[in-house]
Amino acid sequence: MWTKEKALGLIREIGIVAIIRTSSPEDAIRAAEAIIEGGISVAEITMTVPRALYVMEQLADHYGDKVLLGAGTILDAESCRSAMLAGAEFIVTPALDVRVIEISRRYSKPCLPGALSPTEVISAWQAGADMVKVFPCGLVGGAKYIKALKGPFPQVDMVPTGSVSPETTVELIRAGASAVAAGSELVDTQALRQGKLDVITDKARRFVEAVRTSRGSAMAS
């Protein structure tokens, strides 16, 4: 069983949240399987996936505690509660909604609200966010932006999202990110449509290696 502390610990340890956003529930399940095969055991199913709750239920039943399953693109407290009942162990939002943070805390589930500006980042943290999803990070400077935010907010666990690749993962974690979240850069939709799941598995392995490299570099520096 996942406690909040155990879930947050795994996100920090793995260093990557795989964002799964597909056009069908079947593709979402296949993408999740390929990512898990590649060594990423933290997966976020976005609510934009058709029958997203069904996907979460299927993955939760199949993998149990072997995978930390989250729900993404949560826009309101009602969706948050439904996702948790379907098996989501952490909640991710694209923007700051204090009500979602409150219900996540009520059920002792980690919440990663989206924020971008310094005001939004600290507002999310003060509202009880466990980690803050900095989105869209790549469009505003990437690693340089994370480093700038960590100056005044060293206590905030940041998870940058947007334009995250294996290469930028190294830079982002060295800049102070606790983990990164990767979507289209990880889940290759063309490969998925063609049934080339090994392409996605290989991408997952590259992200895992990037986290190892970034932490090895950070310790050496």
Residues acting as catalytic residues = 44, 133
Alpha helices in 15-164 (DSSP H): 25-37, 52-63, 77-85, 98-106, 118-126, 143-150
Residue 10: Cβ within 10 Å count: 18
Give CA–CA dist 126/114, Å, rounded: 14
Give CA–CA dist 157/81, Å, rounded: 24
Give CA–CA dist 125/101, Å, rounded: 10
What are the CA-CA distances from residue 143 to residues 36, 59, 164 (Å)?
A: 26, 33, 10
